Chains A and B, each alone.
Chain A
Amino acid sequence: MSSTTMVLNQAQIQRSPRHTATIYLKEAKYEFLKNLRLRMYTASVLSFPIMFYVLFGLVLNAKEAINGTHVPTYLIATYGTFGVMGASLFGTAAGLASDRGLGWLQVKRASPMPPFAYFAAKVITSMIFSAVIVVALFTLGIALGGVRMPAVEFATLLGTLVAGSLPFSAMGLALGYFTGPNSAPATINLIYLPMSFCSGLWVPFMFLPKVVRQIALVLPPYHLSQLALGIVGAGRHESASTHWEVLLAFTMICLGVARIGFQRDQGKMYG
């Protein structure tokens, strides 16, 4: 019996692929519903980028151009990045820190839930909210700011920004493992807001002080926003593959940190 036991210890629960898919789907569906109904999440994550866009892109500077790019179009790329970053960081870090710190994750771990489903649900939900923000900015831009863009360009921009949710979700998972349930939102803001500013998401990059522009080069939102700006023809003409590589490396580092946190938690529980 003991040898069978040893084998089973390492094994995953045998489920049909259909059953596994159902679990992942439900986990993601309820994670999405949970956040959608959480006013604190939707209010801060959805309304800030949209409000900024309306104010600075549609009300104040709608007729202006930045380096030859129509402001309402330019700002879809930058506030889009800002929104994606917020949705992803808050969507993963805040929930994970609270679930870990207040015992809910233990209830889930005591059940036969596949652990990966829990993380996947958070990442998928962040991507959905990211897409909602970008589409909302677009809709406003087209309706009120005279934004015009070929469908392919729009699809590329949307796809890029939504894919850009991944590095920040990874960062959120890492943060969620190293912050407490009460300190998580403040910690996120402490990273999110300065990073956004330094990456040129609020003030266009070329208007930033030189020191800040230097710092920006190592910040992931800078690279995502440059990819997005490149699509609307307003980038700094750096190589897109470099931007992707930086984002990929950043994602891997964050996942590595999250993994240390995950194992530390297991260690506390399994050690």
Chain B
Amino acid sequence: MIATIEQPQQANSAGSGLIVASLEGVNKNYGSVRALRAVNFRVRAGEVVALLGPNGAGKTTAVKLLLGLMQPNAGRVQIFGADPTNPENRMRTGAMLQVGRVPETLRVREHIDLFSSYYKKPMSCAEILFTAGLEKLRDRKFGDLSGGQKQRVLFALAICGDPDLLFLDEPTVGLDVEARRMLWDEIRKMVERGKTVLLTTHYLQEADALADRVAVINQGEIIAEGTPSEIKAKTAGKRIRCITSLSLNTLRQISGVSEIKEDREAIELHVGEAEPVVRELLARDAKLSGLEITSAGLEEAFLALTQDTASGANHSN
């Protein structure tokens, strides 16, 4: 950790640490579009926080504000108790942003060599290559890498200053499952080194796999916050599919049913707990057939959570 004059502090265990990054009552507009509305959000030393939300929810805006790449229209943004544009702060933070084009003719080790030179106490090149899983790719040109490998290089550039606070903006977007899992492993290596991490993602699964705490953001507002299991509990549920002669009205009267959908000849019920509802269904319709009970998919449940607050149509993937 690089000591600073204004605020000597130590990384603490998750949750109890000092606040290292905060948005307080932050509004950010792009013209008439309100990207963030009265957002309050804090990251404490040592924790891994996921900012979870669909595309266009305001996740990237929050990260750019915290990096001092933008200024809020209202509210206060702080990093290590100071303004995020403070150049000394940049020595202690690392950022993996979404980039359209990275210079493609430079080799992996050359990119790392250059970025490492900016910092006072960078990690060694070997250590960076190991942590980012790039040892075998060190002499490859950036343009010759696969999508997952490119993301790992951007991750390497984010960690090369051995930062206390790491921002990862949609680190695995567009990657296949295997590449995503590999990057998760690299991120976990940094977490094991005691880093504070703020990660944005639109995959609930990713937040679940990496974060101690999740804040769900939609249309510029934080709509839920808690541990991954708390968030999942809010969104969890079962899906019952069956073919029945019961009318939709009758089905609606069964307690515990939150949503009914007709799907070809069958109907689909969204319920909290499956057993009481199934008992009721069978009691009312002896000829009921084709019964299937599945857990509501995480992504689907998350979508339900964000759509609860959506006033307009806000489709996302």
> Which residues of A pack against B, CB within 8 Å?
1, 4-5, 8-9, 11-13, 15, 19, 22-23, 26-27, 30, 33-34, 37-38, 98, 101-104, 106-107, 109-113, 181, 268-271
Contacts and interface: CB of A to CB of B under 8 A. Distances in A.
Task: Give the 8 A-B residue pairs with the shortest CB-CB distance, closest first.
Answer: A102-B100, A37-B105, A102-B101, A112-B90, A110-B95, A103-B99, A5-B82, A4-B6
A8 B95 contact: no
A217 to B, nearest CB: 39
Given A1-B6, A9-B83, A181-B101, A30 B119 contact: no
B39 interface: no
Nearest to B90: A112
A87 to B, nearest CB: 17
B101 A112 contact: no
Contacts of A38: 105
B110 interface: yes
A98 B90 CA distance: 24
Nearest to B80: A5
Nearest to A22: B117
Given A9-B85, A37-B105, A103-B101, 18 more contacts: A1-B82, A4-B6, A5-B83, A11-B88, A13-B90, A34-B106, A37-B106, A102-B100, A104-B103, A106-B69, A107-B102, A110-B68, A111-B90, A111-B94, A111-B161, A113-B118, A181-B101, A270-B85
Contacts of A270: 70-71, 85
B80 to A, nearest CB: 10
A26 B114 contact: yes
B115 interface: yes
Nearest to B102: A104
Contact of B69 (A12, A19, A33, A110): A110
A1 B161 contact: no
Given A4-B5, A98-B101, A269-B69, A112 B119 contact: yes
B142 to A, nearest CB: 10
A33 B142 CA distance: 13
Contacts of B290: none
Interface string B112-130: 0111011110000000000
Dominant SS at the B interface?
loop
A91 to B, nearest CB: 13
B98 A103 contact: yes
B197 interface: no
Contacts of B71: 269-271
B106 A30 contact: yes
B105 A33 contact: yes
Interface string B258-286: 00000000000000000000000000000
Contact of B88 (A8, A98, A271): A8
Given A15-B120, A33-B106, A33-B110, A111 B6 contact: no
Contacts of A103: 97-101
Nearest to B66: A110
B97 A107 contact: yes
B200 to A, nearest CB: 14
A43 to B, nearest CB: 13
5 contacts: A23-B118, A26-B117, A107-B102, A112-B161, A271-B71
Contacts of B36: none
Contacts of A109: 69
Contacts of B87: 8, 11-13, 112
